[in-house]
Structure 1
Amino acid sequence: MRTPDDYFVHPSSYVDEGATVGKNTKIWHFSHIQKGAVIGSDCSLGQNVNIANNVRVGNGVRIQNNVSVYEGVELEDNVFCGPSCVFTNVLTPRAHYPVHGVYAKTLIKEGASLGANSTVVCGHTVGRSALVAAGAVVVSDVPDHALMAGVPARRIGWVCECGQRLPDDLICGKCGKTYQATESGLIEME
């Protein structure tokens, strides 16, 4: 069992009993980690972050200010959530017909980045190392390494694992990685 000495929680934040927080994670001002949430090691949660019941957050995840990660959402390792990005978990919400415990699954795969004020509508997967531009609205699955922009978000290019936009030959000018296009997105060539 981890002790609070293993991670940092700002005094203005709350970690509910029954939540798990990994080693070296930092939880900053006015944040709330709810019961059943599991947060990996080496994460950083900015100001005013809410992690709902039963949410899973991988290792090395960066969640910037003003982000709520609702039940039904899973963030794999090394995901970046920009300031005020939005997740949903119910497709047809109604105040007088509340839904409890039946949430659409949303998966953000390893290394994906969600820009500031982007929205991921529930029930979709954002692929590995994909990059969703600031303000984009994701309404369908996103392939691995896709560069997505617009409302609704559409693929406007490809990005390398290092974050560089890839040219037509799919060879990164920054780190030299080479990719090949497949149905599910790009795969790195050996």
Structure 2
Amino acid sequence: MSYTIKPTAQVDESAELGDGTTVWELAQVREKARLGTGCVIGRGAYVGTGVRIGDNVKLQNYALVYEPAELGDGVFVGPAVVLTNDQYPRSVDPEGKLKRGGDWEAVGVKVAEGASLGARSVCVAPVRVGRWALVAAGAVVTKDVPDFALVAGVPARRIGWVGRAGVRLVEREGEPGGWECPQTGTRYEERTTGDTTELVELPTAENPGS
């Protein structure tokens, strides 16, 4: 394997790093974490025990990814983002005794392929951020985020849709529920079932199986 670990980074010997991955100064990668190929772990970032990270993922400076988080291929995690893992955080138990690792159950955040988490956003576990979704800077995600959704605010709510390029989609004139990426021209269709609204990428010559 060919990867780069900067001198002040701490990478446990049981962690797995893929080809072309770089771990920058003061970053920490814990036991049995697994990172794919071409990843960038920024200065001061933290990757918890057993965390799973796909290929070509970027963790910017001081991002905190606590176990048992799972990040798909091509995920972007902005500066100072936090992925939590404790639904009921307490330093001590009801009797006032310091809680240890076995005294609480860790729950994870899942971030699907291509999704981006803006600077200082927080994902409160357990929650899933869908494929190619975009979480705005400073948002607090407390509910699952649909594929291609643009969410913002505290708590985060959907305010629009984005495509694979990360650009906000525009509605196609005369086509209710039809959306298009102004950068790539890719078309999408909004579909609602009950209380759930989803966006589906329509097939193209380049992506016939979309």
Q: TM-score range by the shorter chain?
A: over 0.9
Distance 2:25 2:136 in 1: 26
Q: Which residue of 1 aligns with 2:200?
A: 187
Aligned Cα root-mean-square deviation (Å): 1.2
CA deviation profile, 1:93-135 (whole Å, cap 9, x unmatched): 1101336362113110000000000000000100000000000
**Residue 150 (structure 1) shift:** 0.5
Pairs within 5 Å for 1:142-153: 142-153=145-156
Q: Which residue of 2 aligns with 1:159?
A: 162
Secondary structure at 2:159 match in 1: strand
**Residue 68 (structure 1) shift:** 1.4
Letter in 1 for 2:182: G
Q: Which residue of 1 aligns with 2:38?
A: 42
Distance 2:81 2:70 in 1: 14
Distance 2:138 2:30 in 1: 27
Pairs within 5 Å for 1:130-149: 130-149=133-152
**Residue 85 (structure 1) shift:** 0.7
- 1:86 is the counterpart of 2:101: no
Report runs of 4+ in structure 1 exceeding 4 Å deviation: none
Letter in 2 for 1:22: G
Q: Which residue of 2 aligns with 1:111?
A: 114
Distance 1:31 1:140, change over 3 A: same
Distance 1:155 1:99, change over 3 A: farther
- 1:65 is the counterpart of 2:61: yes
Secondary structure at 2:171 match in 1: coil
Letter in 1 for 2:68: G
Aligned length: 186
- Return the index of the structure with the highest Cα Rg: 2
Letter in 2 for 1:167: V
Q: Which residue of 2 aligns with 1:173?
A: 182
Letter in 1 for 2:145: V
- 1:52·1:69 contact (CA, 8 Å) conserved in 2? yes
Q: Calculate percent identity across the aligned residue pairs.
A: 44
**Residue 172 (structure 1) shift:** 1.0
TM-score (norm 2): 0.86
Deviates more, 1:152-161 or 1:98-107: 98-107
CA deviation profile, 1:12-38 (whole Å, cap 9, x unmatched): 111111100000001101011111100
**Match among 13, 18, 27 for residue 31 of structure 1:** 27
Distance 1:185 1:43 in 2: 29
**Residue 187 (structure 1) shift:** 1.4
Distance 1:34 1:184, change over 3 A: farther
Deviates more, 1:47-56 or 1:90-99: 90-99
- 1:144·1:184 contact (CA, 8 Å) conserved in 2? no
Distance 1:20 1:185, change over 3 A: same
